[in-house]
Amino acid sequence: MNDITRKVIDNLDRINAIPRCSKKEEKLARWFADWAAERRYPTRRDEAGNLCIKVPATAGYEAAPTVILQGHMDMVCEKTPDSRHDFDRDPIRLVRNGDWISADRTTLGADNGIALALARTLAEDTAVVHPPLELLFTVDEESGLLGAKNLDPGLVDGRILLNIDSEEEGVFTIGCAGGQETRIRLNLQRTAAPSGLSYLDLTVSGLRGGHSGIDIHKPRASANVLMARTLQAISRVTPIGIVSIKGGTVHNAIARDAAARITSAPEHLEGVRQVVAECRETFSIEYGAGESQLAVRLNEAATQSAGVGALTAADTRRAIALLLALPHGVARMSTDIDSLVETSNNLATIVLLSDDTFEILSSQRSAVMSRLAEITARIHAVADLAAAAATDENSYPAWEPSLDSALLQRCKAVYRDQFGKDPVVQTIHAGLECGLIGAMKPGMDMISFGPTIENPHSPDEKLFVPSVVRVWDFIVHLLASYTT
């Protein structure tokens, strides 16, 4: 690890020492504001909490156009079932394994802490020459780009934006999908528990999960989908009642775990065990090596939930049917770009609330806004058929690519000069803040790139260390190219 890489990773480690789940970025924002104050860099924050730090130009670059370095302060907070990590208190612990850095059974936070670490290191390094810089650090990106959606347009002055939130070095992203979340609520009824029933705990676990946009086309299972299939299979051999159910954690991660407590007649227990074993074998065949740690388990409940009733048989069937009917995964591939997902949705979270409302969150994405409306309408139609209420929230626009972008041409030339090859130029099936910022600031020329990160939004997230210095070298030469 060279000196520059070490400095960047050290700054990432400092950032990761500060808890920063979505909506809890205040401590990190104050930490950056204090750092800026020590260097007499002007700072501003808007009402949403977004932070802008203005870094003066190097001598000779004062007349060059201002360049915005942009990333988000929050991270997806996911951990393995055996982890005791407290995201509200504990620092993320970095684990080095050869050329890769990961975390100890949690998400790493390189998405998007690496952008903040690179920006801070660039501002601290007096050997780097650059035009006026604006370090724009947004909040609440992972909850639906909410910081960017509520950005005060006057927070930044620049019209050139480098979004450091893509996850494959050597790839320039110039467009992204739009998104829409839909929350479904089905009112159900619980009945008093008859005596003599068995209480059974059903779990689906060990799945890889991943980013609900970038990884949605990969052979990865949704725990929520597998839970629905298993419950349906059990209900075919014996009447069951759902006591509780919960799966998934956030809108933009594929559900890795799901758990349900159900009631069943004791005499059918062996039959239920057989069904669960058959489901486990079926799922293992379907997903193969892509989900090598997949587990579907059934255990008699340690506590029998005395006095706690289950959903009625009819409402249990309604809940299972609704889950099965809702789409999950790729809906349509792009007709313009090979191997690019155009439209998809993620059956993100499911939970039976304390008031016996079954709540489901679906997250839709599409590069074509009419297709986004189409799949959202389909989800509403399924909800209507189930007599459930569906409410849309947290929508954001697609970022339309521009191959004529002056920034893109400059970036391609700098990359070619620096590394002797052309970068890949693409659009992605994920949401980026560029779409919202561009709509809010007409004339903004934008590009997204970053070091290589695998498995974001899951505890398997890892950062490829050699890619960090390549991104550093690219940014340094790009900024130097603006000399006047």
Q: What is the pLDDT along the chain (484 residues), one digit of tens a residue?
A: 789 999 999 999 999 999 999 999 999 999 999 999 999 999 999 999 999 999 999 999 999 999 999 999 999 999 998 999 999 999 999 999 999 999 999 999 999 999 999 999 999 999 999 999 999 999 999 988 999 999 999 999 999 999 999 999 999 999 999 999 999 999 999 998 777 889 999 999 999 999 999 999 999 999 999 999 999 999 999 999 999 999 999 999 999 999 999 999 999 999 999 999 999 999 999 999 999 999 999 999 876 555 578 999 999 999 999 999 999 999 999 998 889 999 999 999 999 999 999 999 999 999 999 999 999 999 999 999 999 999 999 999 999 899 899 999 999 999 999 999 999 999 999 989 999 999 999 999 999 999 999 999 999 999 999 999 999 999 999 999 998 6
Please check whether residue 189 is in contact with residue 308, taking contact to mean a CB–CB distance below 8 angstroms: no
Overall fold of domain 180-395: Alpha-Beta Plaits (3.30.70)
User: Would you say 296 and 287 are in contact if contact means Cβ atoms under 8 Å apart?
Assistant: no
Return d(Cα 224, Cα 204) in angstroms, integer. 8
Distance between CA 11 and CA 117 in Å, rounded?
5
Residues facing residue 263 across a β-bridge: 199, 241
* Residue of 74, 134, 169, 315 marked catalytic: 74
pLDDT value of residue 307: 58
Orientation of helix 313-325 relative to helix 369-385, angle to 10°: 160
Axis crossing angle, helix 3-16 with helix 110-124, rounded to the nearest 10: 120
pLDDT recorded at residue 309: 87
Q: Does the annotation mark 88 as catalytic?
A: no
CATH number for the domain running over 3-177+398-480:
3.40.630.10
Q: How would you list the strands of the sheet with 462-464, edge to edge?
A: 94-97, 100-103, 462-464, 453-454
For residues 116-151, b (16+ Cβ closer than 10 Å) or e, as one string? bbbbbbbbeeeebebbbbbbbbbbbbbbbbbbbbbb
Of the listed 141, 315, 342, 460, which one is catalytic?
141
Q: Residue 62 and residue 483: Cα distance in Å, rounded?
A: 9
Q: Where in the chain is the domain with CATH 3.30.70.360?
A: 180-395
Contact at 8 Å (CB) between 71 and 137?
yes
Residues of the chain with CATH 3.40.630.10: 3-177+398-480
Report the relative pairing of strands 133-138 and 67-72 from DSSP bridges.
Answer: parallel
Please say if 384 is a catalytic residue. no
- Could you tell me what percentage of the chain is helix, strand and coil, using 3-state DSSP and rounding each to the nearest 5? 30, 30, 40
| Cα-based distances in Å from 200 to 196, 244, 260, 304, 341 | 13, 11, 8, 9, 39
Asked whether the beta carbons of 280 and 298 are under 8 A apart, the reply is no
DSSP of 86-150, one letter per residue? -TTTPPPPEEEETTEEEESSB---HHHHHHHHHHHHHHH-TT---S-EEEEEES--TTTSHHHHT
Strand-strand pairing, 133-138 and 241-247: unpaired
User: What is the predicted pLDDT for the residue at 312?
Assistant: 94
